[in-house]
Structure 1
């Protein structure tokens, strides 16, 4: 059969043979991409996280994705340094983790990422001194209360977005990284957002999306800088997750719970510099990449305008 096909091709014009070759190459490339995707998401074994070190630093661990990561790391036998703003919430999370993982050692550090960040970073440096810190989860972040045009963003929100999402992540990484460089191993996970990577634009969330684009580029550069030093740097790019920040209460197939996302996230630590760990999210990313940007922009603007309208209505009711 193959010989017959080859004979038929030889009798065709050169342009037909060229198109056949291009089509075959595209088909093989697509098939290879699917096989790699299946391997990464379902077959590839996770790394032994304790090989990086016995301690992990997690920022923003009192809620959302950060809390999910804290629980998952404890289940893997990694001790925790939890960095957050509210001491009462830090204690609650600490108690919850210890109730399920009694052997886990936990230290808490109070840092207001929108306040005196330098003083907070100093406390983090003191907390990690002498510890075998191998993992850093940069999860802390803030978003808009609801969608709004850029000129409607007040100065305090603007400052908080930049200070927490950009400066906070950068300075915590700068504080923890020397420990990893010294022992020439470690893993840094920065939590990005599909708002900055997956979709071409995120109207009415412009500053938030821009700060997450910074996280993506920051991570990629550090990945190249420190790979030869045994330090794996990664930007994880989730889409919607059932968190307070996303204003989503219930999880679903395409919107995982924080624990569901963290389970997937843990499996990807130490591999690609950018990834979407929850496989239904990566499936949606693949679909989005095939849709012309003009259609996604129009859909996203309409979607965010709806969020803005509901948010404004809620604000007006509070003032009454």
Structure 2
């Protein structure tokens, strides 16, 4: 029911999008650029980032698309220095915390470093970046917007993707809580829970039957980006797609212990077909 809106007219002309080199992030960058918003693309320093920067700049030559190549999964958090230095000269009024990656497989068969890295990228980096830009928005009295690309994965137990669901739960709870504080400063906070989206997230993960099934009803990154724009400053939390809505409702009627007990009998049928092939893949 929400109509499209121009975020430049609503907030300003500088944005930071994490994980903006592909998938939902790149769709968001393109949509921002189409509205005349200059964008810092924060993503891994690789060929995808270079390609995204060149492609969007060529398509929208009147806006500035500046790449910031960093690893948001770095637990030393050295990425903050580079991001703050490169964005210090402008007033960032739109922050989209979209970066993340999925580690899928049996918990004991993946290295703990992968899980810790995913927690940093999916949640802790978003919290650090939000603290930085949110604080600047308050100090400079900027009417801003902070968006989080969370996931419906946190509504139910997520076997074989335990750290992913947990990190998204942290992100959603943080965003909900921050939205209450941010209202008095004129800063909008929106948390987005998309259902399955056709992106790089699952490209190199083990094949799970439930994921294969959900992919048949998946959304495109462009559809998700447009819905996120429509929701900015209008709703605090939005569940997109039948899976997100249905799993959210399940958690309202039954507690987590009951749902966990119900899922256990289906564990073997849900398990990855090849336990040694699980890999992490960025959404950027």
Candidates 147, 167, 172, aligned match of 2:129: 172
The size of the alignment, in residue pairs, is: 267
Moved over 6 A (4+): 248-253
Distance 2:41 2:163 in 1: 27
Distance 1:253-1:269 versus aligned 2 partners, 3 A rule: farther
Q: Which of 269, 273, 281 is matched with 1:310 structurally?
A: 273
Task: State the Cα distance separating 1:235 from its structure 2 match.
Answer: 1.1
Deviations 1:177-232 (A, max 9, x none): 222112231000111110113xx321222221111110011101110111110101
Q: By how many angstroms is 1:242 displaced?
A: 0.9
Q: Distance in 1 between matches of 2:69 and 2:90?
A: 18
1:5-84 correspondence runs (5 A): 42=1, 44-50=2-8, 51-84=10-43
Q: CA deviation at 1:92?
A: 0.5
Structure 2 residue aligned with 1:209: 165
5+ long unaligned stretches in structure 1: 1-41, 316-320
Helix, strand or coil: the match of 1:309? Answer: coil
Q: What is the Cα deviation at residue 91 of structure 1?
A: 1.6
**2:201 aligned partner:** 245
The answer on 1:115 being equivalent to 2:74 is yes
Structure 2 residue 92 is matched with structure 1 residue 133: yes
Q: Secondary structure at the match of 1:143?
A: strand
Deviations 1:248-287 (A, max 9, x none): 79997731111121122211111222112x3555654577
Would you say 1:190 and 2:148 are equivalent positions?
yes
Give the structure with the larger helix fraction. Answer: 1
1:196, 1:209 within 8 Å by CA — same for their partners in 2?
yes
Rounded to whole Å, the distance in 2 between the matches of 1:211 and 1:283 is 19
Pick from 44, 48, 58: which aligns with 1:85? 44
Matches within 5 A, 1:266-285: 266-276=229-239, 278-280=240-242, 284-285=246-247
Specify the SS of the correspondent of 1:255: coil
CA RMSD of aligned residues (A): 2.8
Consecutive unaligned residues in structure 2, runs of 5 or more: 204-210, 279-284
Match of 1:156 among 98, 104, 113: 113
Paired residues of 1:233 and 1:270 also in contact (CA < 8 A): yes
